[in-house]
A and B are shown apart, each in its own frame.
Chain A
Amino acid sequence: GQQLNQSPQSMFIQEGEDVSMNCTSSSIFNTWLWYKQDPGEGPVLLIALYKAGELTSNGRLTAQFGITRKDSFLNISASIPSDVGIYFCAGQDNTNAGKSTFGDGTTLTVKP
């Protein structure tokens, strides 16, 4: 089945630093999604990407849909303490099911 490799598994950074994380897949996806999850809560959608090569921003967040359609990355600029959480990538294939395959997350810790 489809597998997503998300890296790094965890990051410890200083407030104000930029962050980059990525996902690679063994198969092609038509849609890439990036979520943030806080402890005890469900994932919250940050950015959705629909076309290969697409670069999309949401405030300090920027994500790109890889040209091969097998990878995506998320950048966070000028991190702040409230960026702490677990970031998940998710891919959707070209079926009509719309179900998502998730990576195992990147845990971000921001030190003030």
Chain B
Amino acid sequence: DTGVSQDPRHKITKRGQNVTFRCDPISEHNRLYWYRQTLGQGPEFLTYFQNEAQLEKSRLLSDRFSAERPKGSFSTLEIQRTEQGDSAMYLCASVPAILAYNEQFFGPGTRLTVL
């Protein structure tokens, strides 16, 4: 499978615990985006990387959230001291270098449930 992959697909955690999600973009896609989607709503932008550089962060990304893309390939999203309001689907998308940033290819998402 050469699409965007995300791991884990589901995560259940207790409030206050830390969680980390991983995204593997399509090979040679240099832009990587993180979105959050709650039930009944469309995805909301969180942050994006061009290669290893994090170029923009949304106001939604509080201090408890941190994202990295150390080698410009896979990315991780960590949430510290999780809260019930963090329960959502976390989606990753990647864009190839050739296209003009428009057509984002999404992964299957990580469903986070905070108890």
- List the interface of chain A (C-beta within 8 A of B): 4, 6, 31, 33, 35, 40-45, 48, 50, 88, 90, 92, 96-105
User: Which residues from chain B contact A101 at a C-beta distance below 8 Å?
Assistant: 45
Instruction: Given contact pairs A92-B101, A97-B56, A103-B42, enumerate 20 new A-B contacts (beta carbons under 8 Å).
Output: A4-B42, A6-B42, A33-B103, A42-B4, A42-B93, A42-B106, A43-B91, A45-B104, A48-B103, A50-B102, A88-B42, A90-B42, A98-B48, A98-B100, A98-B102, A99-B45, A99-B48, A102-B43, A105-B41, A105-B42
Given the complex of chains A and B, what is the CA–CA distance between A88 and B43 in angstroms? 9
A–B Cβ pairs within 8 angstroms, 12 of them: A4-B42, A40-B108, A41-B108, A42-B4, A42-B107, A45-B103, A96-B101, A97-B56, A98-B95, A102-B42, A102-B43, A105-B42
User: Which residues from chain A contact B101 at a C-beta distance below 8 Å?
Assistant: 92, 96-98
Task: For the complex, count residues of B whose C-beta is within 8 A of A.
Answer: 26
Distance between B86 CB and nearest chain A CB, rounded to angstroms: 19
Given the complex of chains A and B, what is the CA–CA distance between A107 and B81 in angstroms? 34
Question: Is the C-beta of B69 less than 8 angstroms from some C-beta in chain A?
Answer: no
Partner of B105, one of A40, A45, A50, A105: A45
Instruction: Report the nearest B residue to A35, measured CB to CB.
Output: B106
Given the complex of chains A and B, what is the CA–CA distance between A31 and B104 in angstroms? 12
Given the complex of chains A and B, what is the CA–CA distance between A105 and B106 in angstroms? 16
Check if B106 sits within 8 Å of A44, measured CB to CB: yes
Given the complex of chains A and B, what is the CA–CA distance between A104 and B101 in angstroms? 22
Given the complex of chains A and B, what is the CA–CA distance between A96 and B48 in angstroms? 11
Given the complex of chains A and B, what is the CA–CA distance between A50 and B41 in angstroms? 24
Residue-wise, chain B 48-78 has the 8 Å CB interface mask toward A (1 for contact) of 1000000110000000000000000000000
Given the complex of chains A and B, what is the CA–CA distance between A42 and B108 in angstroms? 4
Given the complex of chains A and B, what is the CA–CA distance between A101 and B35 in angstroms? 10
Instruction: Report the nearest B residue to A50, measured CB to CB.
Output: B102
Distance between A7 CB and nearest chain B CB, rounded to angstroms: 13
Partner of B109, one of A41, A50, A96, A103: A41
